[in-house]
Chain A
């Protein structure tokens, strides 16, 4: 078992890394909103699901790839990938803003506590998941292969697959852009101000509604990118995938300390690797259990997550 593990260590690690980066991007959707509103954005998982479908629409309907067609090469490949990425991000970002307006805005103005928005968000996720389910006839949808998944290098014994490489590099770039946005721009500063103290921020003349919208937009953009990467890696999707990945990504956000952007990064990585190793040792059916046991242990020793703020003083 151990010998096998060592043999496969690097290929497992690469797979786990790319899964981890997908988790990071979804977890950012949860953590950004949580940081500003102190509220679980339950609909984020369905925004991710819509993102995966947006990717398929670009590849299948815009560029007319079919299951039988040749994968693209060269410049055309990069054009297809870039279009799909940007389209998924825009669709998810816009949807995320829409969800905020429909499900949360009125309740936020009424100052209605935490549970009413949670139920409202559950309602919105049901509407999204069910609409897509009806549109797709409850069937999983396979994505045509736009890119040939070849190995571009060798690391010890493991081949480095091109899709994993693309996922990891582009996710890193997106993450760097997000960090710069939050730390260096005027809007980023406003987001941080609202997350620290909404009332003081309002008194300083910050437009709270605008900041909240921007937060949902950024969270949605990241989640949409995750949808694109997921489709690239697994090449199929269904109307019910949001749930499972959403729970995992939310766990990642908690693991790193929810509300903390760097926490989402390390939490997502840790979760992706952990899940991959755990399913190697115990079989895939136990991976969720392992993840939750680790989560409980982490929260027990570090109640704020690995990098979290003092959430113990925050109310549900």
Chain B
């Protein structure tokens, strides 16, 4: 099978400094130009194309990058990622409607809240391994939703309405229907997240995560403080989810518990695995495709989720490592014990 990942990496590694800057700038230009492609074949038949670009596509990309730190980098199966998204969104909703703080001031608070809940959940849960971690995180995601559904201050099933839009900065106004502005702001956040992950990957944290993913016992025996780095991965993943949540609430102006179901966690997980776990470009590609596809095929409206499920099954069977898998040398050795 063709390994696009290694081909792409080879092109990148063979470039000089200017070539790399050129590729990066080109990719950014293409991404930034997407809102202008509305009239072309990319158009989504029923939903507004530019709003699809913001949610789900750009939002999914951001969250998938965050979840990739947890699952792809350090190999921890997190099925409740939506919890951090919800915590960010509800922080924005509460503070935005009850206090005078604006979105940019709430953003760090929302991220801090998500990170804090990451610690609360991570410290007990990360002592467990494997499938138990999966079910605990899944439970956490549901608990956050149920709490939002039943607490009066969080608006119960009606949720929170009239959340303020971000105030303008640098002369750019955020109106609720100016999707392009939101999209470009999200692109900035995504670039920031990519930068953070790429810097961390080549440093001590990245190597620690890599060793934890490959063999946790061996890593521990070689002196890697595995627990500490697992909590770190969890908390960093949570911070990206929280940021996405704050921005989501400020974009949609209205949030309700129904926006934060387990389905979202599973979709984001699917983005990560579908695109290629551990490889940030694969994850982005996966999120773009899985965010875009259901809206693109809306003309078969009733059957679109059915087709979506079929695509997942077929793709995973053809390319179990995802569309753009991680580099060969980073793969885990196959476990000989498995049937």
A217-256 CB contact bits vs B (8 Å, 1 = yes)? 0000000000000000000000000010001001100100
Binds B, one of A7-15, A107-115, A157-165: A107-115
Q: Name B305's contact: one of A130, A197, A295 (CB within 8 Å).
A: A130
Smallest Cβ distance from A190 to chain B, in angstroms?
12
Q: Does A154 contact B (CB under 8 A)?
A: no
B196 interface residue (CB < 8 Å to A): no
Within 8 A of B (CB), among A265-316: 285-286, 288-289, 292, 295-296, 299-300, 303, 311-312, 314-316
- 1/0 per residue, CB under 8 A from B, across A254-266: the answer is 1000100000000
* CB atoms of B338 and A119 under 8 A apart: no
- Min Cβ gap B37→A in Å is 29
Per DSSP, are chain A's interface residues mostly helix, strand or loop, or mixed? Answer: helix
Judge whether B233 is part of the interface by a CB distance below 8 angstroms: no
Question: Nearest Cβ in chain B — how far from A39, in angstroms?
Answer: 9
Query: In the assembled complex, which residues on chain B have CB atoms less than 8 Å from the CB atom of A72?
Result: none
Q: Are B320 and A254 in contact (CB-based, < 8 A)?
A: no
| CB proximity of B310 to chain A, nearest CB, Å | 6
Expressed in whole angstroms, the minimum distance between the Cβ of B317 and any Cβ of chain A is 5
Measured CB to CB, the closest approach of chain A to B138, in angstroms, equals 7
- Verify B306–A285 contact, CB threshold 8 A: no
B130 at the A interface (CB under 8 A): yes
B128 to A198, Cβ gap below 8 A?
no
Tell me the minimal C-beta distance from B257 to chain A in angstroms: 11
In the assembled complex, B308 has its CB within 8 A of some CB on chain A = yes
Distance in Å from the Cβ of A125 to the closest Cβ of chain B? 7
Q: Tell me the complex Cα distance, A292–B129, Å.
A: 17
* Cβ–Cβ contact A116 & B339, under 8 A: no
> In the bound complex, do residue B124 and residue A296 qualify as a contact, i.e. CB atoms below 8 Å apart?
yes
Chain B residues whose CB sits within 8 angstroms of the CB of A299 once the complex forms: 128, 132, 136
Q: Establish whether residues A288 and B142, one from each chain, have CB atoms under 8 Å apart when the complex forms.
A: yes
Query: Known interface pairs A107-B316, A120-B313, A288-B143. Does A126 touch B132 (Cβ–Cβ under 8 Å)?
Result: no
Knowing that A119-B270, A254-B135 are A-B contacts, what are 16 other residue pairs whose CB atoms are under 8 Å apart, sorted by A's residue number? A111-B338, A112-B321, A113-B335, A115-B77, A126-B308, A127-B313, A130-B305, A198-B338, A199-B336, A250-B135, A251-B135, A286-B146, A295-B135, A296-B124, A296-B125, A315-B335
- Listed A/B pairs (19) with beta-carbon separation below 8 Å: A107-B316, A113-B320, A116-B321, A118-B273, A120-B312, A120-B316, A122-B269, A123-B308, A123-B316, A126-B305, A127-B309, A247-B138, A254-B135, A288-B142, A292-B139, A299-B128, A303-B128, A311-B130, A316-B130
Top 7 nearest A-B pairs by Cβ distance? A126-B309, A123-B312, A198-B339, A292-B139, A316-B130, A112-B320, A123-B313
